[in-house]
Amino acid sequence: MASYPYLFLIPLLPLLSAAFYGVFGLKVHRRFGEKAVHWPAVLLPWGSFLVSAIGLVTLASLHGEHAALHQSVWSWIHIGALQVDLAFLMDPLSAVMAVVVSLVGSLIHVYSIGYMKGDRSYWRYFSYLNLFMFSMLVLVLADNFLFMFVGWEGVGLCSYLLIAFWYTDREKAAAGMKAFVVNRVGDYGFTVGLLVLFWGLLGVVGATSLNFHEVQQLVNAPGMADRLVQVGLPTAVCLLFFLGATGKSAQIPLYVWLPDAMAGPTPVSALIHAATMVTAGVYMVARVHFLFALSPTAMTVVAVVGALTALFAATIGLFQHDIKKVLAYSTVSQLGFMFMAVGVGAWWVGIFHLVTHAFFKACLFLGSGSVILGCHHEQDMRRLGGLGKLMPWTAASYLLSCFAIAGFPLFSGFFSKDEILWQTFDSATLLVPGTLLWGIGAVAALCTSFYMFRSYYLTFSGTYRGGAAQQQGTGEEAGHKMAAAKASGPDASPLGHPGQGHGHTLPRESPKNMTIVLAVLAFFAVVAGFVGLPHLWHLPNLFEHWLAPVFEAASQGLANAGYGAGVEWTLMAISVVIALAGFFLARWLYRDERNPIPRRLLEQGSPFIRGLHRVVYNKYYVDEAYQVAFVDRATGLASMLAWFDDHVVDGLVNLAGAIGRFFGRIQGAIDLYFVDGLVNLLARTFLVVGKQFRTIQTGRVQSYVYGVMAGSGLLIVILLLVV
């Protein structure tokens, strides 16, 4: 492992800016305006990207099995067997992650300049966003579990802060809290997994560590793997880790927070809730792949959960009206694909899809952000439409990204998704047949293609249906949403662009810094796939080769079904057909809103179809089920505990208080009647005596003279008697 003294700069640069604007942001913003906020806040992440890219190049020049850059900043915790350093590791895997995170992150920083323009908390936004960059880069560059956990929690915190960014809106604040609480359930699994791993290794192997490489060496030591499997340690640890991953990466059963997370500013949705943070779970599974490789059970769970999530979320996405909700469910679904990949042991494919997804999903989200900004914060696709002519850049980049996510040949998503489906089909490691998972994935891919083009045609084709004149109220909750958007007021939403009134002007293209970012991301969305060409084409697969040093050892133990090239060609053809089918179906149904079938189906269709639509539209009532199953239970438990607190605990406390008061009373009485009595007695004595003596003081000189005479007489008598 080569030492590389600049790794710490990668997370440090955004942290500097985050800390500075966290402390002085308001003053800087008020005094010097927005430019003073966004210039440093945007440039420092670019610095991170530069350092990461240099690191990547340096890494590429190294050879050998364990090519990695390493930097230990300082010793953090050294207690007995627990040896943890604040150390950064850049191996091929984390290099890819760092470069993608810093590149997409920096681009989205640039985009945010336009999107957040005029927001009164501009400085706060950039401070949070920089803090997120720091946490995410710590997460991917940490060289041990504990330091990674710091980043893991940091991104969760930033996610919470940014979802609830417009916290004056109750709904948005609640969405932030939901994300935080649901993530906490996952974090619990991660933490317990860490402890089990740490103590389990100490018990079984006799030595332990939290450092990725050292753990890998311990596990891979001759004969160790069997002993670990015998006690079931890999399965337990991996399932716990995967619980953490389901929280962070929004998989069943913990995916519910991600759709609500769309309450945050759209660039945040793009960066955190699509491109980077939610992929942390995939990264983590890839990071500990050597443990997963030992447990077919855990791998099966990962792959099945991934496949089910992919299908489940994709079907919900079919009927959503909110453009961001469509993208949110699409993200959940795509993350499912990634877990499918890492579940079947095709870790490099999972990371590959993570990278391509980061580009096209960020582009889609930023495109929707551009639409939302142009249409005065309208997110309901029923009131968009016709934007293709008005916002050509946005429309073009959105369409290209749709092609990418749907998996059209030669677009990036094609290479990664097709590889996932093929690897799943071909896998024989799992406890369930890979073909079954392939089937689920294929249906999900069909849904993906359909809903993405549906969103494209609803938004960009036909005529503009927005504006104040056309609020005929297409649905009850749509009207509610509109009212909520209006009620949120000027300080709750980033209504930029002075001079652009509500609803009366046509939408227009977003400012240049946003469209350029869209163009760059769309470019990557199209070409990023070429680094991972399929074997079938007999062209070099750069991506797999790049990650091979990380994954090679573990993937040798996995079994393939060994289908031939003919099957692979067939599957590839099916993938293409699926993508095209979704595309043409959506085009036929939704292009220019000329086709009456969707509406007629909903209005006059059979009760079954309408019922199905209602269930899917309402997200299978999962939120409601969770409400009944967990939230109500939790609040019930809470009120029970509150009762306990009110009556039992408070009763005890009150009893103690009463006893104290009782003794206090007694002491008070003693003080009042005994101690004070003595003092008063003394005082009263003086008072009485003084009263008596006062009578002597008559003020008459002559009576004093009588006194003098009497005294002298007395003295004379005494003298005579004595002498």
Partner 1 sequence: MTITVTHYLLISALLLGFGLYCVLTRRSAVAVLMGIELILNAANVNLVAFSRFTVGDIDGQLFALFGILLAAAEAAVALAIVLAVYRSISSVDVDDTSSMKG
User: From the list 700, 719, 720, 721, which residue makes contact with partner 1 (rule: CB under 8 A)?
Assistant: 700
Contact flag: residue 659 with partner 1 (CB under 8 A): no
Task: Point out which span in 29-37, 387-395, 485-493, 702-710 binds partner 1 (CB under 8 A).
Answer: 702-710
**What is the closest distance, in whole angstroms, from the C-beta atom of residue 720 to partner 1 in the complex?**
16
Contact flag: residue 720 with partner 1 (CB under 8 A): no
Contact flag: residue 79 with partner 1 (CB under 8 A): no
Contact yes or no for 74/230 (Cβ under 8 A): no
Contact yes or no for 269/402 (Cβ under 8 A): no
Task: Point out which span in 160-168, 193-201, 491-499, 697-705 binds partner 1 (CB under 8 A).
Answer: 697-705
Contact flag: residue 710 with partner 1 (CB under 8 A): no
| Cα–Cα distance measured from residue 436 to residue 289, given in angstroms and rounded to the nearest whole number | 23
| Cα–Cα distance measured from residue 440 to residue 419, given in angstroms and rounded to the nearest whole number | 15
| Cα–Cα distance measured from residue 703 to residue 605, given in angstroms and rounded to the nearest whole number | 127
Contact flag: residue 498 with partner 1 (CB under 8 A): no
> Based on CB atoms, which residue is closest to partner 1, 63 or 700?
700
| Cα–Cα distance measured from residue 416 to residue 402, given in angstroms and rounded to the nearest whole number | 14
Handedness of CA 347, 351, 354, 360 (dihedral sign): negative
**What is the closest distance, in whole angstroms, from the C-beta atom of residue 717 to partner 1 in the complex?**
17
**What is the closest distance, in whole angstroms, from the C-beta atom of residue 685 to partner 1 in the complex?**
20
> Based on CB atoms, which residue is closest to partner 1, 608 or 693?
693
Task: Point out which span in 68-76, 173-181, 396-404, 691-699 binds partner 1 (CB under 8 A).
Answer: 691-699
User: From the list 463, 629, 698, 711, which residue makes contact with partner 1 (rule: CB under 8 A)?
Assistant: 698
**What is the closest distance, in whole angstroms, from the C-beta atom of residue 710 to partner 1 in the complex?**
12
Secondary structure string (H, E, C) spanning 369-415: HHHHHHCCCCCEHHHCCCHHHHCHHHHHHHHHHHHHHHCCCCCHHHH
Contact flag: residue 5 with partner 1 (CB under 8 A): no
> Based on CB atoms, which residue is closest to partner 1, 487 or 701?
701
Task: Point out which span in 14-22, 202-210, 572-580, 694-702 binds partner 1 (CB under 8 A).
Answer: 694-702
Residues 6+ apart with CB under 8 A from 365: 266, 267, 269, 270, 274, 275, 324, 327
Residues 6+ apart with CB under 8 A from 56: 95, 96, 98, 99
> Based on CB atoms, which residue is closest to partner 1, 566 or 690?
690
Partner residues linked to 603 by β-bridges: none
> Based on CB atoms, which residue is closest to partner 1, 636 or 707?
707
> Based on CB atoms, which residue is closest to partner 1, 565 or 720?
720
Partner residues linked to 69 by β-bridges: 2, 90
Contact flag: residue 666 with partner 1 (CB under 8 A): no
**What is the closest distance, in whole angstroms, from the C-beta atom of residue 678 to partner 1 in the complex?**
29
**What is the closest distance, in whole angstroms, from the C-beta atom of residue 671 to partner 1 in the complex?**
35
Contact flag: residue 697 with partner 1 (CB under 8 A): yes
> Based on CB atoms, which residue is closest to partner 1, 640 or 717?
717
**What is the closest distance, in whole angstroms, from the C-beta atom of residue 706 to partner 1 in the complex?**
7
Nearest residue to 110 (alpha-carbon basis) of 676, 513, 605, 671: 513
Contact flag: residue 570 with partner 1 (CB under 8 A): no
**What is the closest distance, in whole angstroms, from the C-beta atom of residue 712 to partner 1 in the complex?**
10
Residues 6+ apart with CB under 8 A from 326: 317, 320, 381, 451, 452, 454, 455
Q: Is 206 helix (H, G, I), strand (E, B) or coil?
A: coil
Task: Point out which span in 20-28, 325-333, 463-471, 692-700 binds partner 1 (CB under 8 A).
Answer: 692-700
| Sheet of 2-3, strand order | 2-3, 69-79, 82-90
Contact flag: residue 690 with partner 1 (CB under 8 A): no
| Cα–Cα distance measured from residue 484 to residue 377, given in angstroms and rounded to the nearest whole number | 11
Contact flag: residue 692 with partner 1 (CB under 8 A): no
**What is the closest distance, in whole angstroms, from the C-beta atom of residue 709 to partner 1 in the complex?**
7
Contact flag: residue 701 with partner 1 (CB under 8 A): yes
DSSP assignment of 492-513 equals HS---STT--SSSSPP-PPPHH
Task: Point out which span in 75-83, 450-458, 561-569, 696-704 binds partner 1 (CB under 8 A).
Answer: 696-704
Total of residues contacting partner 1 (CB under 8 A): 10
Helices (H), 33-144: 34-61, 92-115, 122-141
Task: Point out which span in 171-179, 215-223, 662-670, 698-706 binds partner 1 (CB under 8 A).
Answer: 698-706
Contact yes or no for 324/406 (Cβ under 8 A): no
> Based on CB atoms, which residue is closest to partner 1, 660 or 711?
711
Task: Point out which span in 25-33, 401-409, 532-540, 705-713 binds partner 1 (CB under 8 A).
Answer: 705-713
Contact flag: residue 699 with partner 1 (CB under 8 A): yes
User: From the list 506, 709, 714, 716, which residue makes contact with partner 1 (rule: CB under 8 A)?
Assistant: 709
Please state the length of the chain: 723
Contact yes or no for 137/51 (Cβ under 8 A): no
**What is the closest distance, in whole angstroms, from the C-beta atom of residue 699 to partner 1 in the complex?**
3
Rounded to 5 degrees, φ, ψ at 611 are: -65, -45
Rounded to 5 degrees, φ, ψ at 642 are: -65, -40
| Cα–Cα distance measured from residue 376 to residue 518, given in angstroms and rounded to the nearest whole number | 19
User: From the list 428, 706, 716, 718, which residue makes contact with partner 1 (rule: CB under 8 A)?
Assistant: 706
Find tokens 């939403």 and name the residue: 493
Task: Point out which span in 7-15, 154-162, 318-326, 695-703 binds partner 1 (CB under 8 A).
Answer: 695-703
Judging by DSSP bridges, how do beta strands 2-3 and 82-90 pair with one another? unpaired
User: From the list 195, 609, 655, 705, which residue makes contact with partner 1 (rule: CB under 8 A)?
Assistant: 705
The residues that touch partner 1, with contacts defined as CB under 8 A, are 694, 697-702, 705-706, 709
